[in-house]
Amino acid sequence: MSSASDSWSRRPGFVVLTQVEAGSRLWVVLCGSGLLAAGLVMVMSLVTEAVVGSVAPERAGSASALMETCSEFGGALGIAVLGSIGTAAYRSDLDGQLPAGLAASAADAAREGLPAATAVASSLPAPLQDLVLTAARHSFSHSMNVVALVGAIMLTATAVAVVFVLRGTQQRISDPASDGETVRPADQEPVRP
């Protein structure tokens, strides 16, 4: 269920980021990013406790390492996928907004990203410079909206999938007492051989 909680807790951050426009204030981006981070921290604390607490103490280090590796891999994969989607959205949107009189080499350079478009614009005459900067800023905010929307959709789909996949799993987990083990209260000292 932690993945479902994670999906629901981070979704508001993505929803806020879908509202960012080229002229938006920095606080809007910071609020959306803060909500994402808060949702992640809130759930990762619970996940870490659940993972490390579900194994024998001598295997806690291995469980923690596996969880950290999976977290890093998932983060890298998410950055790669969402970054590719963002780049495609930026380039697609920018192609339709660049001024007609712009040289092909300048247009190709501007398609590399907002910093490249800013560098290209700085070498252009004033009216053309403003058009390129406006187009690049709009395309960047558009790509950010697309990425945030895709992220929100992916998190929602994950939450729904987790709810259906994990439905009924608690009934299937065996009771340690039924396996012949003696269940001891947590506040008692362990039995030493």
DSSP 102: S
Using CA atoms, how far apart are residues 176 and 164, in angstroms rounded to an integer? 26
The pLDDT assigned to 88 comes to 97
Rounded to an integer, what distance in angstroms lies between the CA atom of residue 117 and that of residue 176?
62
The predicted-structure confidence for 57-67, as pLDDT tens digits, reads as follows 888 889 889 98
Residue 33 has pLDDT above 60, yes or no: yes
Contact 35, 16 (CB under 8 A): yes
Min mean pLDDT across 47-51, 94-98, 136-140, 182-186 is at 182-186
d(CA 83, CA 161): 24
Can you tell me the distance from the alpha carbon of 71 to that of 162, in angstroms, rounded to the nearest whole number?
17
Residue 57's alpha-carbon distances to 62, 64, 91, 192, in angstroms, are: 10, 11, 51, 15
> Which range, 10-24, 112-126, 178-192, is most confident?
112-126
Identify whether the C-beta of residue 82 lies closer than 8 Å to the C-beta of residue 151: yes
Looking at residue 186, its pLDDT comes to 52
Count CA within 13 A, CB hemisphere, residue 40.
11
Greatest mean pLDDT among 98-102, 145-149, 160-164, 178-182 lies in: 145-149
- For the whole model, what pTM was predicted? 0.70
Q: pLDDT tens digit string along 123-149?
A: 998 889 999 999 999 999 999 999 989
